[in-house]
Amino acid sequence: MSALIAHQLRKVYPSGLEALKGVDLSVEAGDFFALLGPNGAGKSTLIGILTSLINKTAGRVEVFGHDLDREPEQVRARLGVVPQEFNFNLFLPVLEVVINQAGYFGIPRREARVRAEYYLRKLDLWERRETQMRQLSGGLKRRLMIARALVHQPQVLILDEPTAGVDIEIRRSMWHYLRELNDNGTTIILTTHYLEEAESLCRHLAIINHGAIIATAEIADLLKELRSETFVLNLRGRLTELPALGGFVLDAIDESTLEVEVSRGHSISGLFEALSRYGIEVMSLRNKQNRLEKLFLDMVDHRSDTATSSTPGQPSGVSYE
Ligand code: ADP
C-alpha cells in the first residue's frame, strides 16, 4: 500500500517561478524514504504542499488513500511534520509546546500530557520540560520538533533537513530514534543534504533537481552500481615515483599523499600489498567522498551528458523519470 502519492504536482509562485514541474512520487507504507536535491530544487515547496502550507497550482496528493483536496483533515491526521524553520512561540516551555500541538489535533489535555511525557522522554527532553523553547540549542529544538510532530501519532513522519546544523552526537542519537520509529511501522520521508544520512537510514530515494524528479532508486541497488571508490592515503616517507598497479588508478596529490581509485572487484588489502612491494607504507586512509555522494554526482553528470548527447547505458538500478 502507498503511504503517499504525489501525481503531476506543479507549483508556480506568484513571481512566475515554476518551482515544481509535474512531480510524480510514490512512497510505500513502512518505507524510509529520502528526497535529495540541491538548494532551490523544490524540496521545501513539495513538503509545503503535502502539509497544506503551500497551495499547489495543479496535481494531486494522496495519503493512505485520502485525497488532500477532498479530505484535508484525514490527510492532516496522518502526517507529522518537522519543518526546517521554527515558526511558533519561542517563549513557551517545552512541555506546553507538545501539549498545545496535541490540542490542535483534538486530543484531550490529560491524554496529551501522557503522550507528551512519553515522547519527551524518548527524545531525552523530559528533564527540560519547563525550559523555554528559545533557551534550547539547535539540536534540542530539532528533537522537540520531532516530539511535537509525533504527539498525534501520525502514520507518516516528514522531516525537512532534520539534522542540518546539528552536531554529530545529537545527529546519531536522532538517527537511532528515527530508525526505531520506522521499525515500529511509521513511514518516514526526509529531505537531507547529508548523503551519508540517506545511505545510513533510508531504503529508497528520489532525486529532485530544478523542480523535477530526475531519478528514483532503491539505495542498496544504487550502491551495487558503484564501479569504483576513491581513497586518500597518507604515506610514511616520500613518494619518488608513481608505481603502475593493475586495478588501481593512482594520483599523487603531494609527495606524501596519494589518491587511489579502487575499482570493483579489487580490495583495499590488495592495494596495500601492491604498494608495499614498492616499499610504500600507508599511515592512514579515508574515503574521498561518501559512496552515495559519488553516485549522486555521477548521476547528475550523466543527466547533463544525456541532455547534450545521447550517451547510452544508465545504471540498471536507477529508473530515470
Ligand atoms: P529547496 O527546498 O529544494 O531548497 P525550495 O522549494 O525552497 O527548494 O525552492 C524552489 C524554488 O522556488 C527556488 O528557486 C526558490 O527560490 C523558489 N521559491 C521558494 N519559495 C518561493 C516563494 N515564496 N516565492 C517565489 N519563489 C519561491
- pLDDT, residue 293, reads 67
Cell triple for 158: 516528514
Q: Give me the amino acid identity at 245.
A: L
Question: What is the tens place of the pLDDT at every residue in 100-156?
Answer: 999 999 999 999 999 999 999 999 999 999 999 999 988 899 999 999 999 999 999
Q: Is the pTM of this model over 0.85?
A: no
The band of 316, judged by pLDDT with boundaries at 50, 70 and 90, is: very low
pLDDT of residue 14: 97
Of 9-13, 82-86, 95-99, 148-152, the one with minimum mean pLDDT is 82-86
Alpha helices by DSSP H, the chain: 43-50, 72-78, 94-104, 109-122, 138-150, 168-183, 195-201, 219-224, 268-277, 291-308
Asked if the model's pLDDT at residue 311 lies above 50, the reply is no
Query: What is the model's pLDDT at position 131?
Result: 96
Q: Return the percent helix, strand and coil in the chain, to nearest 5.
A: 35, 30, 35
Ligand 1 within 6 A of CB of 141: no
Ramachandran category for residue 67: left, alpha or beta (phi over 0 → left; psi -120 to 50 → alpha): beta
Residue of minimum CA distance from atom 19 in ligand 1: 45
Task: Spell 81-112 as b/e; 16+ CB within 10 A means b.
Answer: bbbbebeeeeeeebbbbbbbbbeeeebeeeeb
Q: Whose CA is nearest to atom 13 of ligand 1?
A: 40
- Residue 208: which of 294, 299, 290, 291 has the closest Cα? 299
| Helix, strand, or coil (residue 192) | strand
Residue nearest to atom 15 of ligand 1 (CA): 40
**pLDDT reading at 80 higher than 90:** yes
Mean pLDDT, range 238-247, rounded to an integer: 82
User: Which of these, 162, 222, 221, lies nearest to 189 by C-alpha position?
Assistant: 162
User: Rounded CA gap, 302 and 214, in Å?
Assistant: 11
Flag whether pLDDT at 32 surpasses 90. Answer: yes
Residue 192: CB within 6 Å of ligand 1?
A: no
Query: Residues 250, 259: contact at Cβ < 8 Å?
Result: yes
End-to-end Cα separation, the chain, in angstroms: 21
Q: How far is the CA of 245 from the centre of ligand 1 (A)?
A: 48
Counting from 1 in the atom list of ligand 1, the atom nearest the Cα of 48 is: 6
Q: For 35, phi and psi rounded to 5 degrees? A: -110, 110
Other CB atoms within 10 A of residue 148 CB: 27
Q: Assign 314 a pLDDT band (cuts: 50, 70, 90).
A: very low
Q: Picking from 59-68, 84-93, 110-119, 248-257, which range would have the lowest pLDDT averaged per residue?
A: 84-93
Question: Counting atoms of ligand 1 from 1, which one is nearest the CA of 211?
Answer: 10
| Mean pLDDT within 243-260 | 87
In this predicted structure, what is the pLDDT of residue 301?
57
Q: Which residue type sits at 207?
A: I
Mean pLDDT is lowest, of 138-147, 222-231, 296-305, for 296-305
Q: What is the mean pLDDT of the chain?
A: 86
Task: In whole angstroms, give the CA distance from residue 120 to residue 129.
Answer: 8
Spatial strand order in the sheet of 248-254:
248-254, 257-263, 228-236, 281-287
> What is 108-172 written as a DSSP string?
-HHHHHHHHHHHHHHTT-GGGTTSBGGGS-HHHHHHHHHHHHHTT--SEEEEESTTTT--HHHHH
Q: Please, which pLDDT band fits residue 295 given cuts at 50, 70 and 90?
A: low
Q: In the predicted model, is pLDDT for residue 300 greater than 50?
A: yes
Q: In the prediction, which pLDDT does 157 show?
A: 97
Q: How far apart are CA 58 and CA 7, in angstroms?
A: 9
Please choose, from the candidates 118, 27, 34, the residue with its C-alpha nearest in 3D space to the C-alpha of residue 78: 27
Domains, in order of start, for the chain: 2-223 (3.40.50.300), 226-314 (3.30.70.1560)
For residue 199, what are the β-bridge partners?
none
State if residue 39 touches ligand 1 by the CB under 6 angstroms criterion. yes
Percent of the chain at pLDDT above 70?
88
pLDDT for position 294: 64
CA atoms within 13 A of residue 275's CA, in its CB half-sphere:
25
8-state DSSP, 42? S
Segment among 15-24, 122-131, 187-196, 286-295 with least mean pLDDT: 286-295
Which pLDDT score, from 0 to 100, does residue 66 have?
97
Distance CA 50, CA 69 (A): 11
User: Which of 69-73, 106-110, 279-283 shows the lowest mean pLDDT across its residues?
Assistant: 279-283
Supply the Cα-derived Rg of the chain in whole angstroms: 23
Q: How far does residue 19's CA lie from ligand 1's centre (Å)?
A: 6
